[in-house]
Amino acid sequence: MSTLAAAVEVRGASKWYGAHKVLDDVDLTVCPGHVTVIIGPSGAGKSTLLRAINHLEKLDAGRVTVNGVLIGVREHGTRLKELSERAILAQRAEIGFVFQDFNLFPHLTVLENVTAAPVATGRATKAEARERAVELLAQVGLAEKAEAYPGQLSGGQQQRVAIARALALRPGVVLFDEPTSALDPELVGEVLAAIRALAGGGTTLIVVTHEIGFAREAADRVVFMDAGRIVEEGPPGEVLDRPRHPRTREFLSKVL
């Protein structure tokens, strides 16, 4: 696959927490419109990699490009220089992010949560943002909850609002950081369904999850990470059913 066509490209990403190397020279290429699912044991660096893509986590070495644009840094001769906070904030409009703990704004209504970003960044008028928000809330099945506060919703509903909020800026790439890990088991399905509904719609999705079933059904590619490295990647049929690496086999034998 050609480098230029990649929606997300990570090259040589490395990061240390003190003496511990959480990301160890990671390379990842994600095609536009594809669904990539990252699996692996806790502490493998999955979330750190995901957070590095929208620069919530700064890399010590390596680079990330989204739709060909360097994220968080610019080239300065042979070195990389960190961008200003304002420039980084502007870049994030292209990258939606859904958190494990939803992180909705509890003092704002559902509708205000979804319209905040387009209005605050000046990308839409209030009326336009509202129209788009109503559309998005209908898409995730929460049209009637627009005036509710997050505290009045179930975990699954809150996470679906968070998905609508992440889509409000029409990002080309949406990142999901364990979107169902904080949910009661019976609420997992509705959130996974909302994510699956986005697949194939042209938006590039990267999902860190422990839901192997979701990976099998919805992923175009599955990436298995362990100890800060990508151990193995490929179509779900290969990685999940015929893993080549013993570490992948060991992990899958425990979670399946």
Partner 1 sequence: MSTSAEPAEAIGISESPHRDLATQRVIPLRHPGRWIATAVVVVLAAQFVHGLATNPFYQWGRFGYWFARPVILRGLWVTLEVTALSAVLGLVGGVVLALARLSHNPVLRTVSWVYIWLFRSVPLIVVLLILFNFSALYRTLSLGVPFGPSFFRFDENKLATELVVATIGLSLNEAAYAAEVVRGGILSVGRGQREASAALGLPRWYQFRRIVLPQALRAIVPAYVNQLIGLIKGTSLVFYVSLLDLFGQVQTMSSTYPGDVVPLLLVATAWYVILTSLVSLAQYWIERRLRAGERR
Q: Which residues bind partner 1 (CB under 8 A)?
A: 54, 56, 85-86, 89-93, 95-97, 99, 101, 103-108, 116-117, 120-121, 149-152, 165-166, 169
Compute the least distance from the CB of residue 45 to partner 1, in Å.
18
Taking the C-alpha atoms of residue 251 and residue 247, their distance in angstroms, rounded to an integer, is 6
Taking the C-alpha atoms of residue 231 and residue 243, their distance in angstroms, rounded to an integer, is 10
Taking the C-alpha atoms of residue 208 and residue 211, their distance in angstroms, rounded to an integer, is 9
Taking the C-alpha atoms of residue 231 and residue 244, their distance in angstroms, rounded to an integer, is 10
Compute the least distance from the CB of residue 147 to partner 1, in Å.
12
* Rounded (10°) CA dihedral 116, 120, 123, 129: 30
Q: What one-character-per-residue DSSP string does 127-193 give?
A: HHHHHHHHHHHHHTT-GGGTTS-GGGS-HHHHHHHHHHHHHTT--SEEEEESTTTTS-HHHHHHHHH
| CB-nearer residue toward partner 1: 95 or 230 | 95
Compute the least distance from the CB of residue 77 to partner 1, in Å.
26
With H, G, I as helix, E, B as strand and everything else as coil, classify residue 70: strand
| CB-nearer residue toward partner 1: 51 or 229 | 51
| CB-nearer residue toward partner 1: 54 or 209 | 54
Compute the least distance from the CB of residue 107 to partner 1, in Å.
5
| CB-nearer residue toward partner 1: 115 or 248 | 115
* Region for residue 87 given its phi and psi (left: phi exceeds 0; alpha: psi -120 to 50; beta: otherwise): alpha
| CB-nearer residue toward partner 1: 147 or 241 | 147
Compute the least distance from the CB of residue 162 to partner 1, in Å.
8
Residue 30 CA, chain-centre distance (Å), reads: 12
| CB-nearer residue toward partner 1: 6 or 56 | 56
Q: Which two tokens stand for residue 233?
A: 């990647």
Compute the least distance from the CB of residue 54 to partner 1, in Å.
6
